[in-house]
Amino acid sequence: MAGTLYVVSTPIGNLEDLTYRAVRVLSEVDIVACEDTRHSQKLLNHYGLKTKTVSYHEHNERGRAEELLASIKSGLDVAIVSDAGTPGISDPGFLVVRTALDAGLRVVPIPGPTALVSALVVSGLPIDEFFFAGFLPARSGARRTRLADLAVIPSTLVFYEAPHRIVASLEDAREILGEREAVVARELTKLHEEILRGRLSELAALFYQAAHEPRGEMVVMIDRNVILSADEDTKSEYNVASIVAGFEAEGFDARSALKKSARQLGISRDEAYRRLTAERSRGKP
């Protein structure tokens, strides 16, 4: 009889966040597949667990997935864990889960911490709808292109970011998405947990002026709405919605109308779209 694959969430910092169920499962399975065996061994040792561990990371994922699949087919139970949080969420895990499902094997989630959810619930931003985009591209050009693609999503945007790129990413987000309220959470559940709130430009300046480069993986959350200045919100020449409506009345489709409106205002199409979205959210014509 085939075994079971367990997808086990582990603490993102504080070891007390491992659930009772996770402890039991990690003690009962035959193998724990770890993103980093040395890291996970500390967790297992903390709870007095002696389960056999093997590595499962981005460099050996394909070959190891087949090995784990063979073990499960032979009747062994396997748990997969990442260094922190939930496997598969910007961490290895997808391939072995998909491989097991394709083989008709049982896959069971063991819920627990994940950084993006922990950050969202204390962000103060709307979380009735949110879009998680993982890590933004490291290169500026690709990052800006990705942000432009996400600008049309009417939800709170969520990213993971490395500390050495946080200033550049916040500055790019301000330029591409427009000024918005944002939150940066770092070192969640750890001793130096920090949750910073402000506008994108304010947060970029805060990190830029910091005496020391911040540490720890960060969760960046950006509000869905663009903040218009008083001038932009009241002056008719900034009322993109009216200009777009005028071009549409002349027979232009929505895309062409927006493009012509941007040219008339002397702004980029992305900026015109941001203003249009903000105006419509405020009920402008």
Instruction: Give the count of beta carbons closer than 10 Å to the beta carbon of residue 282.
Output: 11
Q: Which residue has the tokens 């997935």?
A: 65
Q: Which residue has the tokens 């009962």?
A: 28
Nearest to 165 by CA among 124, 207, 195: 207
* Whole-number pLDDT of residue 230: 52
* Whole-number pLDDT of residue 229: 59
* Whole-number pLDDT of residue 88: 94
Residue 277, both tokens: 């979205």
User: 117: burial class by Cβ within 10 Å (0-12, 13-18, 19+)?
Assistant: middle
* Whole-number pLDDT of residue 284: 47
Residue 39, both tokens: 């890291």
Beta-bridged to residue 10, according to DSSP, are: 85
- Amino acid identity at 98: R
pLDDT mean for each 10 residues of the chain (285 residues): 96 96 98 95 96 92 92 97 94 94 97 96 96 95 93 93 95 92 96 94 91 85 82 56 84 88 76 78 56
Nearest to 151 by CA among 200, 197, 186: 200
What span, in angstroms and rounded, lies between the C-alpha atoms of 164 and 145?
A: 20
Q: Which residue has the tokens 């702004």?
A: 267
Q: Rounded to the nearest 10 degrees, how much is the dihedral formed by the CA atoms of 109, 114, 117, 121?
A: 120
Dihedral sign for Cα 271, 273, 275, 281, please: negative
Residue 179, both tokens: 């000024």
